[in-house]
Amino acid sequence: MNMQECKICNNNAQHHAYSTEKDSQVVDCSYCGKYYLMHLFETDIYNDKSNFYKVSSWIREQNDEFHINPEISQEVFEDKLNMRDKRIKEKFDLMMQYFSNATNRFQLDKKILVKCWMKNENEFAKLYQKAVDTILLDGPLIKMLSGFSYPIFLGLTFDGLEYIENLANPNQSSKNIFVAFNFEDNLKEVFNVHVKSAIEENGFNYVVVNQDNVEHNKSINDEIIVKLKSSRIVIADFTNHRPSVYFEAGFAMGMNIPIIWTCQEGHDQDMSFDTRQFPHIIWKDKDDLVKQVMDRIKVIL
């Protein structure tokens, strides 16, 4: 084991002995987290490194949220470089959650940048100042000779604590459960009959959006977003891998809406890498699915 610069973020990282079994080297970066550096991976080929922060943040997210040490090949690296950046509101919410666990007199720990998907210190300073201006955080930004403003965090205000509480419980009073699945005949019966019946028997609203129940003068995507925004829980079934289910699940994640991930037995090995990491209910038949889904709903609520 030796200390070298991380090829992704240039911070100190422990590089463990090369594993011939995995054809990779374990890298434990103080900033990105732990990952497997695959054979022949190279970053010197990139002239523009402005998006490297997205790869660092993705690795850190895999480590912290899902307890996964990802394999970084050239293909994976390219994919993460080009993925959608977090929206400003998403970054702001991540920053607020970070500060909700911080101690008083906080001064900048650079890990806040990678944990909150910040492009750089200037982007962080703007979002921090916004939180101070809207009376969510208490503590000034101190201008340094280097030109960067460091936060002296004194704590969350009452409004800040309420903001964090609302983040943890989006749409808490909603009775809507949004269901996304592949609209094949056999799955329609499973979901639109059996899952729907169980959901409604427990006092919730079963919500599905497809071309059959959207007015002609409305965009189906607009209707999906409206319904998702008002839902308490989303059930996303990946049997037969309907592309829009990935969109609906991703949108719900961005809104911090709890997702129940499901897939019929035999189809789970074909799921996308981006969703395979989540704990799916692997169901055998309609009765198995209904029982497991309703048990998960009760745990969430």
Residues 203, 281 share a domain: yes
Residues 294, 222 share a domain: yes
Q: Write out pLDDT tens, residues 202-246.
A: 999 999 987 565 554 456 777 888 888 889 999 999 998 888 888
Residues 154, 105 share a domain: yes
Q: In what order do the strands lie in the sheet with 233-237?
A: 205-207, 176-180, 233-237, 259-264, 281-283
The pLDDT value recorded for residue 274 is: 64
The pLDDT value recorded for residue 196 is: 95
C-alpha 129/C-alpha 67 separation (Å) is 32
Residues 180, 158 share a domain: no
The pLDDT value recorded for residue 216 is: 47
Residues 109, 73 share a domain: no
- Which domain covers residue 117, as residue numbers? 88-168
C-alpha 271/C-alpha 250 separation (Å) is 14
C-alpha 156/C-alpha 235 separation (Å) is 34
C-alpha 37/C-alpha 15 separation (Å) is 9
Place of tokens 């950046």: 85
Residues 184, 291 share a domain: yes
Task: Name the DSSP letter for residue 243.
Answer: H
- Spell out the residues 6+ positions from residue 180 whose beta carbon is closer than 8 angstroms to its own: 208, 234, 235, 236, 237, 242, 244, 245, 248, 249
Residues 233, 149 share a domain: no
Give the CATH number of the domain where residue 152 resides. Answer: 1.10.10.10
C-alpha 259/C-alpha 250 separation (Å) is 10
Residues 254, 182 share a domain: yes
C-alpha 208/C-alpha 101 separation (Å) is 37
Residues 144, 105 share a domain: yes
Q: 14 - beta bridge partners?
A: 3, 28
235's tokens:
């059930």
The pLDDT value recorded for residue 138 is: 93
Q: Decide which of 52, 81, 110 is a domain's last residue.
A: 81
Instruction: Write 184-191 long-range contacts (CB < 8 A, 24+).
Output: 184/240, 187/237, 187/239, 187/240, 189/286, 190/286, 190/289, 191/237
pTM of the model: 0.64
Q: In total, how many domains does the chain have? A: 3
Give the CATH number of the domain where residue 240 resides. Answer: 3.40.50.10140
Residues 288, 197 share a domain: yes
Q: Decide which of 117, 152, 168 is a domain's last residue.
A: 168
Residues 127, 68 share a domain: no
Residues 93, 36 share a domain: no
Q: Decide which of 60, 81, 102 is a domain's last residue.
A: 81
Report the chain's C-alpha Rg in angstroms.
22
Both ends of the chain: CA-CA distance in Å?
46
Q: Which residues of the chain have pLDDT under 50?
A: 216-217
**How buried is residue 205: exposed, middle or buried, by Cβ count under 10 Å (0-12/13-18/19+)?**
middle
